[in-house]
Chain A
Amino acid sequence: MDYATLIEVLGSTLRLGTPLLLACLAGLYSERAGIFDIGLEGKMLMAAMASGAVAAMTGSAWLGLGAGIVASLIFALIHGLASITFRGNQLISGVALNFVASGATVLISQTLFHQGGRTPPLTGDARFQAITLPGAEALASVPYFGPFYAKVISGHSLLVYIALAAVPLTWWLLYRTRFGLRLRAVGENPESVDTAGVSVIGLRYTAVMLTGVLCGIAGAYMATSLQAGFGREMTAGRGYIALAALIFAKWRPWYALGATMLFGFLQAIALRPDVIEGTLHMKIPVSALDALPYILTVIVLAGFVGRAIPPRAGGQPYVKER
């Protein structure tokens, strides 16, 4: 693999890792608060459809993003109602929402656009365009760093940078603020929060809403930036991969960046079978390469990658003891 190819693969790693990163951070807020959310996938899918549809109708990527966030928030709210207010089983609620999203997205887009469950292709302002960071052209001639800056760091859509900025922001929120302390506490021992006079329900809803916002951005990114429009099942299990990455990351923001970029890298090299063949000097079927992120998911979930201790109160509805 030469340097130019490596640069290309890394650039596409970042693009493909972004929705995973957003979804992973989304899951982090929810699970840190003690609410398991297996419905990241469904929320992303809903957001992708809503943003694709609205962007197509209005021609504005920003309105599309807003619609994606709203759609995802609605699903987050339903999950919150089921698991916080009505103390239902969080896994079942999440799975149910995924099924609903899978059917509803195709149904709605087919009803609106009659294009086989897709939204019309997006062009121009209906998509988030790549941003060229200042100095990218000037530095392009600098050996090694120039191309790296121009093609890996620069040249992505705004949403990629938002996702990257969300990592330190999440870390700061979690470990340096009152909100973060309470959020972490409510996922470990909600009774301690309750007896300290802080609302368990309020905190958990806030966390679930944050999850909704981030999943919304992730979905909108899929439809209005990574690709040009919504297609059926376009999230392709990214919500589940993000969950695996979250476990891999031990529920920590910086680790989440590393874990999701690893998955993103696997997805990126799967797109370049020629590179693999050139590097390993053997032919590997494309379908095997496509399966790499999912295989890593299974390995992570089976617990081969160290012991990860989830938040202790995770998955349990909070009931004041009698």
Chain B
Amino acid sequence: MTETTDAGRQATAALSGAAAPAIELRGISKAFGPVQANKDISIRVMPGTIHGIIGENGAGKSTLMSILYGFYRADAGEILINGRPTIIHDSQAAIRAGIGMVFQHFKLVQNFTVLENVILGAEDGALLRPSLAKARKTLAHLAEEYELDVDPDAVIEELSVGHQQRVEILKALYRHADILILDEPTGVLTPDEADHLFRILRGLKEQGKTIILITHKLREIMEITDSVSVMRRGEMVATVKTAETSPEELAELMVGRKVLMHVPKAPANPGDTVLKLENLRVTDAEGVDRLKGVSLTIRAGEILGIAGVAGNGQSELLEVLGGFGAGKVTGRMEVQGQEVVLAGHGATGQTRRARGIAHVPEDRHHLGLILDFSAWENVAFGYHGAKDYQASGLFMDNAAIIRDTEGKMERFDVRPPNPHLPAQSFSGGNQQKIVLAREIERNPVLLLVGQPTRGVDIGAIEFIHRRIVELRDAGAAVLLVSVELDEIMSLSDRIAVMFDGQIMGERLPAETNERELGLLMAGVAQTKGAAE
């Protein structure tokens, strides 16, 4: 253990006097084959506090919490709940110990009602009727106490994501959880919903519940936690009081080196219009309108950020622009003043690339890479017909592609820099760098980029952001789609907010704030004139 951790322990202990910690983990270790996911982790969480756990992807946060919830068994170490050593070998034992977990991906039965989901596994007897009646009463009570109101007879699939999350919290409370673990709870929420969640969590804390919040968002840690533990590569590197730290310090602890939170960028110097999109409409195979008349322009040397909660048409926009839109597509698309076929015959990734449109897709595992193929093969995809990759009219010049891949790996700091490794053996950040290198180094006039830093470590985020800004400075137009508002705010020169297949409004980053964007993302009508 490091000195920081010991200092942090005293700090957390000081917070709530001499009471036994609600949770104490001592020397927890867990290995998956050769990978040491958790190394000798010790942590104490005081009752009635909100404790944050941050770390990069793969730092071992989720593994640690899965051990606490009985999903995995630790190879070594012990768990103490309220000072008593407790053996947790399955979820049932965790529930008995008073632990409730809200997973990142909800564990709800979609076609069950709220009540049915709440009682599942916690029924009082063989017949359902008494259990349902009891749950109905309890839910009404909980709703009043914690702002957790949900219609008990609503079917889950008809509820918004925010409400579904409340059902998960209700499930835990119905099982008398005193300790609530939330894994990346805000990833799917609008800013407003996140605020509501934080109000709920504060209410729970006031009632003496202990809350563990796993997140990679430093802002949330600073906003709501009392103390915070930082994990890095399976180890607990520090536990500190939130009031005594800063986002910069936490980021440095997470990555192990100094990190720039915001990429410095000069004001945009926009040139001629590169992309002009008029009245784009998309109706999918089920007859649902996905895009309802989207119009936008992007000029050379400018980044247009599209903000919005996932599922409001951003994916369809990228698909159509990238040349693989599905369903009924109407509207007009111009690149550098010349019309581009929107969909159907003549709209393919190849024809788009020929017009200088590069695409870093949202879902790199399905659209950006073939995971079983090697890095150099992935680098060749889409550009396999390029002159410098061709030995003759008939054969590819594999040696040239491999050489080029080595160069790209060096310039984009891909680790390990081995072009023969299959794509899946790289971490998320390094996979994204491979895709980015492939698309950016062909000097596109227009770069479409979706969720560029999803599942990417904070260190790699900085690098990827830098490259996108460099491409802009070189005169390319960039369309950036992201559900991370921070990313949109720090990269964009203009921000358009999408809701329900429409652009709700455009704002300049300097003249707006997260609250205003959040309202637009939630579909609240424009409060002031849009930029266009």
B285 contacts the other chain (CB 8 A): no
Chain A residues with CB below 8 A from B101, complex form: 195
Question: How many angstroms from the CA of A193 to the CA of B108 in the assembled complex?
Answer: 9
Question: How many angstroms from the CA of A180 to the CA of B128 in the assembled complex?
Answer: 9
Q: A195 contacts B91, CB within 8 Å?
A: yes
Interface residues of B in 335-366 (CB under 8 A from A): none
Q: B110 contacts A312, CB within 8 Å?
A: yes
Question: How many angstroms from the CA of A73 to the CA of B168 in the assembled complex?
Answer: 38
Partner of A188, one of B112, B121, B123, B127: B112
Q: A320 contacts B91, CB within 8 Å?
A: no
Chain B residues with CB below 8 A from A312, complex form: 110-111
Q: How far is the CB of A274 from chain B (nearest CB, A)?
A: 47
Known contacts A197-B95, A320-B71: A182-B111 contact under CB 8 Å:
no
Chain A residues with CB below 8 A from B123, complex form: 178, 181
B493 contacts the other chain (CB 8 A): no
Chain A residues with CB below 8 A from B107, complex form: 189, 191-192, 194-196
Q: B122 contacts A176, CB within 8 Å?
A: no
Known contacts A178-B123, A178-B128, A196-B121: A185-B109 contact under CB 8 Å:
yes
B473 contacts the other chain (CB 8 A): no
Query: Chain A: how many interface residues by the 8 Å CB criterion?
Result: 23
B485 contacts the other chain (CB 8 A): no
Chain B residues with CB below 8 A from A180, complex form: 128
Residue of A nearest to B127 (CB): A177
Interface centre among A181, A189, A195, A322, by most chain B C-beta atoms within 10 angstroms, is A195
Q: B91 contacts A197, CB within 8 Å?
A: yes
Chain B residues with CB below 8 A from A182, complex form: 120-121
Known contacts A189-B108, A312-B110: A197-B121 contact under CB 8 Å:
yes
Question: How many angstroms from the CA of A198 to the CA of B175 in the assembled complex?
Answer: 14
Chain A residues with CB below 8 A from B91, complex form: 194-197
Chain A residues with CB below 8 A from B119, complex form: 181
Q: How far is the CB of B99 from chain A (nearest CB, A)?
A: 11
A166-203 interface mask toward B, CB cutoff 8 Å, 1 = contact, 0 = none? 00000000011111111011001101111111100000
Query: Chain B: how many interface residues by the 8 Å CB criterion?
Result: 31
Question: How many angstroms from the CA of A197 to the CA of B32 in the assembled complex?
Answer: 23
Partner of B126, one of A178, A188, A197, A322: A178
Q: A176 contacts B129, CB within 8 Å?
A: yes
Chain B residues with CB below 8 A from A197, complex form: 90-95, 121
Question: How many angstroms from the CA of A105 to the CA of B69 in the assembled complex?
Answer: 49
Q: How far is the CB of A246 from chain B (nearest CB, A)?
A: 17
B131-144 interface mask toward A, CB cutoff 8 Å, 1 = contact, 0 = none? 10000000000000
Known contacts A192-B120, A196-B120: A176-B128 contact under CB 8 Å:
yes
Question: How many angstroms from the CA of A322 to the CA of B72 in the assembled complex?
Answer: 9
B116 contacts the other chain (CB 8 A): yes
Q: B109 contacts A192, CB within 8 Å?
A: yes
Interface residues of A in 305-322 (CB under 8 A from B): 312, 320, 322
B453 contacts the other chain (CB 8 A): no
Known contacts A196-B91, A320-B71: A188-B128 contact under CB 8 Å:
no
Q: A185 contacts B126, CB within 8 Å?
A: no
Q: How far is the CB of B283 from chain A (nearest CB, A)?
A: 19
Count of A-B contacts judged by CB separation below 8 Å: 71
Partner of B120, one of A185, A320, A322: A185
Question: How many angstroms from the CA of A61 to the CA of B94 in the assembled complex?
Answer: 50
Chain B residues with CB below 8 A from A196, complex form: 91, 95, 107, 120-122, 171
Question: How many angstroms from the CA of A192 to the CA of B168 in the assembled complex?
Answer: 10
Chain A residues with CB below 8 A from B131, complex form: 178
Residue of A nearest to B92 (CB): A197
Question: How many angstroms from the CA of A179 to the CA of B93 in the assembled complex?
Answer: 21
B117 contacts the other chain (CB 8 A): yes
Chain A residues with CB below 8 A from B93, complex form: 197
Question: How many angstroms from the CA of A230 to the CA of B103 in the assembled complex?
Answer: 54
Known contacts A192-B117, A196-B122, A320-B71: A176-B109 contact under CB 8 Å:
no
Q: How far is the CB of B485 from chain A (nearest CB, A)?
A: 28
B125 contacts the other chain (CB 8 A): yes
Chain A residues with CB below 8 A from B111, complex form: 188, 312
Question: How many angstroms from the CA of A194 to the CA of B70 in the assembled complex?
Answer: 11
Partner of B110, one of A176, A177, A189, A194: A189
Interface centre among B71, B111, B121, by most chain A C-beta atoms within 10 angstroms, is B121
Partner of A198, one of B108, B109, B121: B121
Q: B71 contacts A178, CB within 8 Å?
A: no
Q: How far is the CB of A71 from chain B (nearest CB, A)?
A: 30
Q: A181 contacts B110, CB within 8 Å?
A: no
Interface centre among A177, A178, A184, A194, by most chain B C-beta atoms within 10 angstroms, is A178
Q: How far is the CB of A204 from chain B (nearest CB, A)?
A: 15
Chain A residues with CB below 8 A from B120, complex form: 181-182, 185, 192-193, 196, 198
B434-456 interface mask toward A, CB cutoff 8 Å, 1 = contact, 0 = none? 00000000000000000000000
A143-187 interface mask toward B, CB cutoff 8 Å, 1 = contact, 0 = none? 000000000000000000000000000000001111111101100
Known contacts A192-B120, A197-B121: A181-B128 contact under CB 8 Å:
yes
Known contacts A182-B121, A198-B121: A192-B108 contact under CB 8 Å:
yes
Residue of A nearest to B106 (CB): A192
Q: How far is the CB of B187 from chain A (nearest CB, A)?
A: 16
Question: How many angstroms from the CA of A312 to the CA of B109 in the assembled complex?
Answer: 9
Q: How far is the CB of A186 from chain B (nearest CB, A)?
A: 9
Chain A residues with CB below 8 A from B171, complex form: 196
Question: How many angstroms from the CA of A320 to the CA of B125 in the assembled complex?
Answer: 28
Interface residues of B in 74-102 (CB under 8 A from A): 90-95, 101
Chain B residues with CB below 8 A from A188, complex form: 109-112
Chain A residues with CB below 8 A from B71, complex form: 320
Question: How many angstroms from the CA of A58 to the CA of B69 in the assembled complex?
Answer: 55
Q: B109 contacts A322, CB within 8 Å?
A: no
Q: A195 contacts B127, CB within 8 Å?
A: no
Q: How far is the CB of A136 from chain B (nearest CB, A)?
A: 36
Chain A residues with CB below 8 A from B94, complex form: 197
Q: How far is the CB of A261 from chain B (nearest CB, A)?
A: 27
Interface residues of B in 453-487 (CB under 8 A from A): none
Chain A residues with CB below 8 A from B121, complex form: 182, 193, 196-198
Q: B126 contacts A195, CB within 8 Å?
A: no
Q: How far is the CB of B57 from chain A (nearest CB, A)?
A: 14
Measured CB to CB, the residues of A under 8 A from B are: 175-182, 184-185, 188-189, 191-198, 312, 320, 322
Given A177-B127, A188-B112, A195-B69, 10 additional A-B pairs, CB 8 A: A175-B128, A178-B127, A184-B109, A184-B112, A188-B110, A192-B107, A192-B108, A192-B109, A197-B91, A197-B93
The 6 residue pairs across chains A and B that have the minimum distance between CB atoms: A196-B121, A197-B92, A192-B107, A197-B91, A178-B123, A195-B107
A and B contact pairs by CB, cutoff 8 A, 22 listed: A175-B128, A177-B126, A177-B127, A178-B131, A181-B120, A181-B128, A184-B112, A185-B109, A188-B110, A188-B112, A189-B110, A192-B109, A192-B117, A193-B120, A195-B107, A196-B91, A196-B107, A196-B120, A196-B121, A196-B171, A197-B93, A312-B110
